[in-house]
Amino acid sequence: MSTTHLSPEQSSALFDLLTHHATYDEISQFKSPTAMQQYGPPFQDTKTTSTPILQSLLSKFILPLPGLRDVSPDFWKVRVENMVEELAAANLSESYDKGVLGIRKTLATAISALMEYPARGCYGGIQKDESAFKDQHFDPTKPDDVLRAWYVFMQQLVYGDLFDKLFAKAAETDDLRKHDSLVQAAHEFVVVNLASFMHYTLVVSPEGPSLLRMVENVHKLAPYVLMRQTLRVGNVATMINGMVRLMLAKVSVGSLTNWMGISSGADEGMNLMQQIISTVLGWDKKELKKRLEKIEKDKDAPSKEQREALREWMDQSRQEQEECRRRSQEQSMSIVSTILSLSSASPDLNEKQHKLALEFLSLSLAVRDRNKIIDVLCHHSPDHLTQAVRDGVSAYEPMIRQVHQAVDLSATVADFQAFMDDMIKVAKPKKEGKPPSVEDFVHLLHSHMGASHRFIHQVAKNGKEVTQWFKDYVHKVTANFKQQHSPSIFDSLSTAFDGLKPEDQEKVRKEVDSSRKYLDALYASSAARISDVISNKASTPYGPGAYLARWQELLDSTLVTPETAKGPVRTGASASVKQEARRDVDGEVKESGVEVKQADKIVGDKTPEAPSSEMTIKLLGPKFKELLLSAK
């Protein structure tokens, strides 16, 4: 064989690299209102799609879900499609303009980092390992056993009957200790990784404090008492009707006149669900406006004309704003300086004025974003959000009836409320100013896992039909991870590589080798951190999970406006960007320093930075998309 061919390890690393970038590229497309028109099923009846990874994951994992598989076609083709298009048409702000990595960027990159794993499983498959089916014992307190157990667990889930055994035992008991040692150790793997994800999302990520504050505000407004009272109703139909009325009923004049036929399309006001959304975002807007007022009163504030020019730019078309960003990047000029240079206002700003102008634009964009989101979700007519929830409730009614008979749902809501209370407390800094550790979240999950085990036990014991639905679902979706005997995508990638010019092969090979070393370092670092957490060192600053590093990589590579009027374009990894993200609700930078340091490097001091893959994406990215589109 020629030495120019990729080795199996290199082909795997190439596949990993391309999947990572393709997944985020597809998610990024949804900033455009036209993205949904090219998605394919279930939104359009065509077989073609511009987002093969997302379309495949939706069709293989979401559409077959019990309950959701029974929704009306309008749920996808009218409700969801229109809401996504409306949010895209709102032209929400970019991180580049705001100078910080916003909540939308944080969530988009998080979703991408998680979705690329099942995507790789679907397209690449999991190779069967016969050694995973031998009798083995696992100790959930030993890190090596926990790591090995997860590997064996996935093997037996995909190629064996582990799920059937798991639910059979769950129907017998809600005590985890009575399950096989494999299940206990794999359960610990899930707990540690879930704790790691929660810790990163709410504590370490740039928008962690903002997300936590938003979660806490929603939690305060949730009508837990009324929900528990309604769920105690014995008649299922009455209970469902009561819950729908509680969350979705509208009592405005507009809803009455529309119902009577006197008006058509009048604003029907908001139901409780929308009131919560509007109130939480409204609280955010109030704090942001206070900070805006403070800037406007500052003696060094940009002039009224300059502030007005920045406001007018926010309402320009998407194309005009993109052109402004392009000029900003090409000329190494900040976004506010670029905007002012293209307006009738004076572009002259001293250092203090420029800093305040950047903050003014960032805060103004944040206020505008919240107004747009409230308009789409709470004031749009027709109200697609409310109708989507009604469609979902209707589709899930058979399941709700069975679960209501099998489980005390009122007690389940109480358990969830208690968990949220404790999670919010855990996620906040301790009295001495130290941020919470990963172990704190592990303890949180351990203390509440009994409630989830009881719920699963009651469903498995008393809801045989529901249990069978999910058994059938798991058997169907895990089959997607089995490796087929037909030529694999790895072979196709190797063939595509062989077709490159020798000089291009050398460039790609170097990037692939660097990516392979990087991945090896990520997984080694993740394994070491799992060991630290399970050993309960009580101070692990960031948790295991290579996906956290991939998430951080996407955040760090995000372009952000220069900090000064003339200067280099920054990225999410820039110290000034991370510092800006740590402003509290009063707009003051936190002085502890430890929180900023935590976000600097998630993968550990000995792990290298993510290597460049520019040439690989350029040369093989289009071919990889063709392979995805042709894959079954």
Q: Tens digits of per-residue pLDDT, 431-458?
A: 766 888 899 999 999 999 999 999 999 9
pLDDT band at residue 252, thresholds of 50, 70 and 90?
low
Q: Is the peptide bond before 42 cis (omega within 30 degrees of 0)?
A: yes
Residue 136 in tokens: 């083995």
pLDDT attached to residue 266: 47
The model carries a pTM of 0.90
Gyration radius (Cα) of the chain, Å? 26
358-381 CB burial, b ≥16 within 10 A, e <16: bbbbbbbbbbbbbebbbebbbebe
d(CA 348, CA 351): 10
pLDDT band at residue 582, thresholds of 50, 70 and 90?
low
Residues with Cβ within 8 Å of 133's Cβ and at least 6 positions away in sequence, in order, are 155, 156, 159, 160
pLDDT beyond 80 at 594: no
Task: List 482's β-bridge partners, or say none.
Answer: 126
d(CA 427, CA 213): 10
3-state secondary structure of 511: helix
H-type alpha helices, 463-501: 464-478, 489-498
Task: List 328's β-bridge partners, or say none.
Answer: none
pLDDT attached to residue 613: 92
pLDDT attached to residue 611: 86
pLDDT beyond 50 at 144: yes
**How high does pLDDT run on average in the chain?**
89
What interhelical angle do 8-28 and 489-498 show, nearest 10? 100
Whether residue 462 contacts residue 407, with contact meaning beta carbons closer than 8 Å, is answered with yes
d(CA 229, CA 239): 9
Whether residue 207 contacts residue 101, with contact meaning beta carbons closer than 8 Å, is answered with yes
d(CA 60, CA 516): 29
Q: What mean pLDDT do residues 86-105 have?
A: 92
3-state secondary structure of 126: strand
Residues with Cβ within 8 Å of 615's Cβ and at least 6 positions away in sequence, in order, are 504, 507, 508, 511
Element at 571 (helix H, strand E):
strand 570-571
Q: What is the pLDDT of residues 457-500, one digit of tens each?
A: 999 999 999 999 999 999 999 999 998 755 688 889 999 999 99
pLDDT beyond 80 at 574: yes
Q: What is the greatest pairwise CA distance in the chain?
A: 79
- Residue 302 gets which letter from DSSP? P
pLDDT beyond 90 at 88: yes
3-state secondary structure of 590: coil
pLDDT band at residue 583, thresholds of 50, 70 and 90?
low
Whether residue 60 contacts residue 32, with contact meaning beta carbons closer than 8 Å, is answered with no
Q: What percent of the chain lies above the pLDDT cut of 90?
A: 74
pLDDT attached to residue 598: 41
pLDDT band at residue 1, thresholds of 50, 70 and 90?
very low
Whether residue 424 contacts residue 105, with contact meaning beta carbons closer than 8 Å, is answered with no
pLDDT beyond 50 at 590: no
pLDDT beyond 70 at 274: yes
Among 169-173, 536-540, 626-630, top mean pLDDT goes to 169-173
d(CA 101, CA 170): 43
d(CA 383, CA 377): 8
pLDDT attached to residue 442: 94
Q: What mean pLDDT do residues 7-15 have?
A: 92
pLDDT attached to residue 541: 74
Residue 530 in tokens: 């799992």
pLDDT attached to residue 597: 39
pLDDT attached to residue 595: 42
- Residue 63 gets which letter from DSSP? T
pLDDT beyond 60 at 79: yes
Q: What is the pLDDT of residues 50-70, one digit of tens each?
A: 999 999 999 999 999 999 999
Q: What mean pLDDT do residues 224-238 have?
A: 94
pLDDT attached to residue 592: 36
DSSP 576-603: HHHHHHTB-TTSPBP---HHHHHHH-SS
* Terminal alpha carbon distance of the chain: 30
Q: What is the pLDDT of residues 307-349, one digit of tens each?
A: 999 999 999 999 999 999 999 999 999 999 999 999 999 999 9
Which of these, 189, 167, 155, lies nearest to 481 by C-alpha position? 155
User: 597 or 411: whose pLDDT is higher?
Assistant: 411
pLDDT band at residue 10, thresholds of 50, 70 and 90?
very high
pLDDT attached to residue 535: 83
Whether residue 419 contacts residue 448, with contact meaning beta carbons closer than 8 Å, is answered with yes
Which of these, 134, 170, 243, lies nearest to 461 by C-alpha position? 170
Q: What is the pLDDT of residues 494-546, one digit of tens each?
A: 999 999 999 999 999 999 999 999 999 888 888 888 888 888 766 777 778 78
Q: Is the peptide bond before 382 cis (omega within 30 degrees of 0)?
A: yes
d(CA 15, CA 75): 34
